[in-house]
Structure 1
C-alpha cells in the first residue's frame, strides 16, 4: 500500500470500503460517456477512456451507469450494458486494463425510469409522473409499473450485480439517485402509488431495500456494495433529508458497504450537475447528516473541483472519500498532479456543462469537455512530438493563444508568444469573483502552463511585419474579437463601459443598467450584484434585452433554464422586449412594442457580444509564405470550448 503523501495527506491516505482496500480517497464519479456500441457492449473507446483515468493516480474508478435489462432500463444512446452475459467479456476487458494501471474499478448498475432520454416506449416508473423534457420532445408518458414488473426489476439488479462480480469488478454500485427509477419510487414528488410501493416512507423505500437484499443473496458478502443516492431531489414535495438519513441506516443494516451521496435530479440540473453560478459542494449539508447517522464510509460528491476543497472535506471529517466527475474529464491526471503538489497544473473543470452535456450527450454525441479536447478520444488525440520542429509565433495571450502555445511547446516546436496586454485575455474579468471562480481558476492555470515552460513572451503587439521579419515558419493567430459596437448614439456624461472591463474590486455601484441579456450580460449582472452585496453598497442592477427572453442565442441549456432563477434571487431586474435607442445625460432611451421611456443610470454596461473578426493579419502572413492557423474568437466568436478546441487541434496540425 502506498505511503501517505506530503501534499494533501488526507486525500492520499489509503482507505477501505468493506473488504476492499483503496490506495487513496479519490473516486471517479460514474458519468455516461456514450462510447459503448449500440448494443451496450464495450468499445475500444470505452476501454481507452477508463484506462486513461486509471493511469492518472486515482484510487477507485467508478464506471458509468449500465442498463440492467432489455425492457425499459436503457436510458441513453450508446449506454453501457450489463443486461446479458454477452456484455460481460467487454466489461472484463475494461477491468483488466484498469487493474493494470494499479487502480481499482467499480461498475454502476441502473434503471432509467422516467428519465429515459431515448424517449422511446415503454418508459416505466413508479407512476405516470412525467419528466417534461422527455414528454415534450417525444410525447411519451411513463407507464406505472406492475408488481410483477417490479419483481422482475429487483431480480435484474441482482443478476447484474452477479455479472459485475463475474467480470471481476472490485465493487458494484446501485444508482438510487438523480431522478432515475429508484428515486421515482423514493420521492413523494413522483410516487403517488396506493399499493405497497407507495404512500408511506416504508413503502416508497421497499423497492431499493428489496434490490439490496437480492444483490446480497447473489454475490459473496465480501464483494462491496455501494448505493449512490440523492440527499434530496430538491423538490418542495420531494425527498426530505430525514427520510434519506433513515434510509441510509436501513441500507447499512442490510449489508451496504458505502454510501455515495449526491443530490438533485434532471428536472433540477442546477443541483445534479451544478453550473458555474451555483455554489461548490452544494450537498455537503446532506452528506454530513448521513455520516453522523451511520458507521459505514460516506462518499462526498458534487462540484468538488479542487484538491484544497477535497482535502478540507476529508480533514474535517465531513466525509470519508471524495468523488469527482467532471473534474476528471477535465484532467484525468488530477490525482497524480495533486499528490505531487502541482495543483496549478491541473486543468480545472469550469462547470460550464458545455462540452460534456450541451455539445456532447445532449446532441446525441459521446461525452466531451470544453477544456480537454481529448476526452473520450484518448486513443486518437494524444499530444505527440511533431515530425519536424518549427519556429512558431503565437499572436495573442488569451485562452486560445495560451493553450496553443503550451501544446506547441510540448510537440517540440520553438514558440514565442506575443501579447501586449495582460495574459489571460477575456478570462481575466473572472478574477476576484466567487460566482466566476471556476473561470478564474482556468485563467491562472493557462498562464501557469505557459510560464512554467519558459515560453518567451513578447509584451507588444505583433503585426505581419513583426512575424515575417522574425524568421518564423508558422503563426497562430489568436487575437480574439472586438466587442460589438452599439447601434445607437451615446452621449452625455453617464459612464459607459463594457462587461469585459468589470472587475470585482471596482465593479460599478448605484443604478447599473446592462444592455444585452445574453450570457455576457447575465454573468456581468451576477458579478456586479455579488460585489455590491459583499461590500454592503446599495446597488440596483437592471438588464435590458431587445429579445423576448434572456439567453436567446445558442447558450448552454443549464444557463438558459436556471440562470434566470439565480438572477432573480440576486435581485436583478430583467426587462425583455426593451430596445435601447440612445444614451445621454437623461439616461437610456428605450423603446418597447407599445411605448417609449427613459431609464436613469449611474453606469451603463454594454454586453452586446463580439464582432466577427477580420482576416487581414492571417491573409498578410499567408501571402508572405508563412503557415497560418487562426483560432479562438479570431476565427469565430465563441465560448471557452471553442477557444480550447481550436487551439488544441491547430497545435496538433503543425
Structure 2
C-alpha cells in the first residue's frame, strides 16, 4: 500500500498494517514488474532498475576493482532489467565526493569501466552509469570544495573545517565540458545509458535550489538561470554522444527545504529536459542534510515521493523512473499497475537481496530477504565509517566471492537453541550446508522481535521476521516447542546458542502492585491513558514513538536521566530524526530526569528541581539489554559438547550483529 504525501510533507503517514497479497492462490505474481520496457531505443527485459548507490569498492584513483565488477555482476545475475552503476566523478578538481569512488574523469578509467559494462551485460541486464559532481556534499571534506555559492553543509564542513567556494563562470563552463567528456567515455566503455545526477544535494542541485544558490549572475536568481547549468550539460552531452545513446537525468522531486526546490519548478525543468533530448527522468527526492527524505529509514513511509513523480509523469512524454523506499514487490507492482510510473528503481532492497527481481518474477516472493531500511550496514557502519558499503541482512554484500557457503563433508546433528533472528538464520544456513538441524524455541519464532507483528510502524522489521520464519518452515527444519535444557541437548554433535540477551534490570524501585512492561512485550491493546516510558535510548524512543502514533488514547511521557536522548552508538538517521518525530507525535520528553519508583498508577521521578509524580496507567522500562550469562554454555562444554554462541547471547547488538554472527559462525561449523 502507498500513501500519497503532500508537498513538503511534515509528519510521515503511517505504514500499512500488512503487505497486500498479489494473488488469491498464495503464489504472488507481479505481471507489471515483468513487462519489458524501453528507454529511447534501449529495450529492457523488465521494469526493475537498480538505483545507483556508492559502494566504495574502487581503487583510490577511481579505477574499478574485481570487487566492483563482482558486485555488479551479482546484481545482473539477479534478474534486474537495468543496473545503474554508482555515481562517478567527472573531473579531477572537486567533483570526487567520497572515498574509493568510481572515476570517469580520464581516458585511463575507460578500460576498467568497459570491463564492468561487459560483465553486467553478459548477465542479460542492461547497464548504465551515473555521472556526478559532489558540490557542497563532498564527504571527503578536502579542498577544493566547490558549489553554486558559499552555502555550506555542516557535515562536510566538519570533516576538515573547509567550506565550499562559489564556482566562477569559467569553472562552470569547464565543468559543462567535463560532463560531456565523461558521457562520451561512458559511451566508449559501451554502457547502454548514461545518467546525470541532478538531485540529492550534489552540485547541480546546489544550482537548482534557491536554498543553496544565492548567485546574482546568469546562473542564479530566476528559475531559468538556476536551471542553466543542467541544460548546458545536457546540450553538451547530446553533442558528444549519438542520439540513440539514452540520456537519463536524476532529479529530486523537491529537496524538502522550505526555501528550496518546488514541485512546480521540477515539472517545468522536466519539460525542458525532454525538449533538450533527455530520454528518461529518474525521480527521487531530498538531500543529505535531510537524509530521512533521501535514504528514508523505517520510520518514514514507503514510496514517499509518489506525489511528486506523478506530477512529472503527467507533464512529459518520456518515461519516468520512480524511486524512494519502494522496498517490496507489492509496492513496486502497485506503482506500475496504476501507471504511476514507467519503471521502478530500488537501491537498498537490491543490496539486501540481489535476487529480488528473479524471486519476485519467479513465484518465490517469500524467499526475498527484505531490506529493513535500518541504514546500519550500508551507511552507519559502512560508508559513514570509511568502509565499503555493507548490509545488515546480507553479509555477502561487496564480498560476493569472499564468503561462499559450501556443503559440509562432515554432516552433523546440530541443535540451535533459540528461534530469534540469529537462531532462524543459523538454522537455515546450517541446513543448506548439509547438517541435520533441530531448532528449539518454546514460543513462536521471532525471539525478541515477535513484538513487531503487533505494530504497524514495524512493517520493515516484521517482514524480516516473517521471511526468516518462512525460510525455516519451507526447509522442513524440525522445530521443537521446548525450552531446551541440558538433557534435551544430550547427543548433539554441535550446539548453537542463540538465546538472546536479557533486559537490563533498571535501578528503579517497583511497588508490589505495579506491573511495568518492556518495549518488546508491550502491546497496543495494553495501552490506556497516561503512559511513561523510562529510558531514552533507541529502544525507549522507538517504543514511545510507536505508542504515540498508534494508540490514540495514550498520553506518552519519555523519561531519560541524561541530558540528551540517544546518547549511545545509535544509527545516525535514528539519532538525527527521532527527537523531532517524538515532538511531532506530541510525546512529552523529560531529559535530566531519573525515575525513582514505579507504582500501580504513577511514577516518581527526580528532576533538577526536585521530585515529581507522573500519572501512569502503563509503564514501559527501556533500560537496554544486559550481557547474557555463560553458565549454560559452560555446563554444556563441561560435559564435552561443542558450543557456539551467536547473536545477542554472545553480545547484545542490532539486527546487523545477529545476522552476521549467525552467518559467519555457520560457515565455520
* 1:521 match: 540
Given that 1:494 and 1:602 are in contact with CA atoms closer than 8 Å, whether structure 2 keeps it comes out as: no
Given that 1:399 and 1:640 are in contact with CA atoms closer than 8 Å, whether structure 2 keeps it comes out as: yes
Corresponding residue SS for 2:460? helix
* 2:508 match: 488
Corresponding residue SS for 1:274? coil
Choose the corresponding residue for 2:403, options 381, 386, 392.
381
State how far apart, in whole Å, the 2-side matches of 1:84 and 1:464 are. Answer: 65
Choose the corresponding residue for 1:621, options 632, 636, 639.
636
1:544 maps to 2:559: yes
* 1:635 match: 650
* 1:417 match: 439
1:474 maps to 2:494: yes
Once the two structures are superposed, residues 522-553 of structure 1 have per-residue CA deviations (whole angstroms, 9 ceiling, x without a partner) of 111122122213xxxx2201100011111111
Choose the corresponding residue for 2:373, options 351, 354, 357.
351
Q: Which runs of 5+ in 2 are unaligned?
A: 1-26
* 1:563 match: 578
Deviation at 1:494, TM superposition (A): 4.2
State how far apart, in whole Å, the 2-side matches of 1:425 and 1:586 are. Answer: 30
5 Å-filtered alignment, 1:80-99, equals 80-99=102-121
* 1:159 match: 181
Q: Which runs of 5+ in 1 are unaligned?
A: none
1:142 to 1:574, Cα distance in 2 relative to 1, 3 A:
same
Deviation at 1:316, TM superposition (A): 0.4
State how far apart, in whole Å, the 1-side matches of 2:207 and 2:307 are. Answer: 23
1:509 maps to 2:524: no
Corresponding residue SS for 1:499? coil
* 1:406 match: 428
* 1:111 match: 133
Structure 1 length as normaliser, TM-score? Answer: 0.97
Given that 1:490 and 1:582 are in contact with CA atoms closer than 8 Å, whether structure 2 keeps it comes out as: yes
Deviates more, 1:581-590 or 1:313-322: 581-590
Deviation at 1:188, TM superposition (A): 0.2
Deviation at 1:386, TM superposition (A): 2.0
What RMSD in Å do the two structures reach over aligned CA positions? 1.2
Once the two structures are superposed, residues 369-418 of structure 1 have per-residue CA deviations (whole angstroms, 9 ceiling, x without a partner) of 00001000001012221232221110000000000111111111111100
Given that 2:382 and 2:390 are in contact with CA atoms closer than 8 Å, whether structure 1 keeps it comes out as: yes
1:607 maps to 2:610: no
Given that 2:601 and 2:617 are in contact with CA atoms closer than 8 Å, whether structure 1 keeps it comes out as: no
Corresponding residue SS for 1:642? helix
Deviation at 1:611, TM superposition (A): 1.1
5 Å-filtered alignment, 1:240-639, equals 240-467=262-489, 469=490, 471-491=491-511, 493-504=513-524, 506-533=525-552, 538-585=553-600, 587-639=602-654
Given that 1:75 and 1:117 are in contact with CA atoms closer than 8 Å, whether structure 2 keeps it comes out as: yes
Given that 2:149 and 2:164 are in contact with CA atoms closer than 8 Å, whether structure 1 keeps it comes out as: yes
Corresponding residue SS for 1:197? coil
Deviation at 1:625, TM superposition (A): 2.6
State how far apart, in whole Å, the 2-side matches of 1:37 and 1:380 are. Answer: 18
* 2:74 match: 52
Deviation at 1:589, TM superposition (A): 1.2
Deviates more, 1:244-253 or 1:592-601: 592-601
Once the two structures are superposed, residues 500-529 of structure 1 have per-residue CA deviations (whole angstroms, 9 ceiling, x without a partner) of 11233x141200000011111111112212
Deviation at 1:492, TM superposition (A): 5.0
State how far apart, in whole Å, the 2-side matches of 1:435 and 1:571 are. Answer: 17
Corresponding residue SS for 1:105? strand
State how far apart, in whole Å, the 2-side matches of 1:618 and 1:48 are. Answer: 39
Choose the corresponding residue for 1:32, options 23, 29, 54.
54
State how far apart, in whole Å, the 1-side matches of 2:548 and 2:599 are. Answer: 24
State how far apart, in whole Å, the 1-side matches of 2:514 and 2:629 are. Answer: 31
Given that 2:140 and 2:159 are in contact with CA atoms closer than 8 Å, whether structure 1 keeps it comes out as: no
5 Å-filtered alignment, 1:10-21, equals 10-21=32-43
State how far apart, in whole Å, the 1-side matches of 2:142 and 2:93 are. Answer: 11
Corresponding residue SS for 2:545? helix
Q: Aligned residue pairs: how many?
A: 643
State how far apart, in whole Å, the 1-side matches of 2:126 and 2:349 are. Answer: 19
Once the two structures are superposed, residues 479-504 of structure 1 have per-residue CA deviations (whole angstroms, 9 ceiling, x without a partner) of 00111112121015344111111233
Deviation at 1:622, TM superposition (A): 2.2
Corresponding residue SS for 2:510? coil
Corresponding residue SS for 2:520? helix
State how far apart, in whole Å, the 2-side matches of 1:328 and 1:411 are. Answer: 24
Deviation at 1:6, TM superposition (A): 8.4
Corresponding residue SS for 1:53? helix
State how far apart, in whole Å, the 2-side matches of 1:142 and 1:514 are. Answer: 43
Corresponding residue SS for 1:604? strand
Runs ≥4 residues deviating over 4 A = none
Deviation at 1:323, TM superposition (A): 0.2
Given that 2:508 and 2:595 are in contact with CA atoms closer than 8 Å, whether structure 1 keeps it comes out as: yes
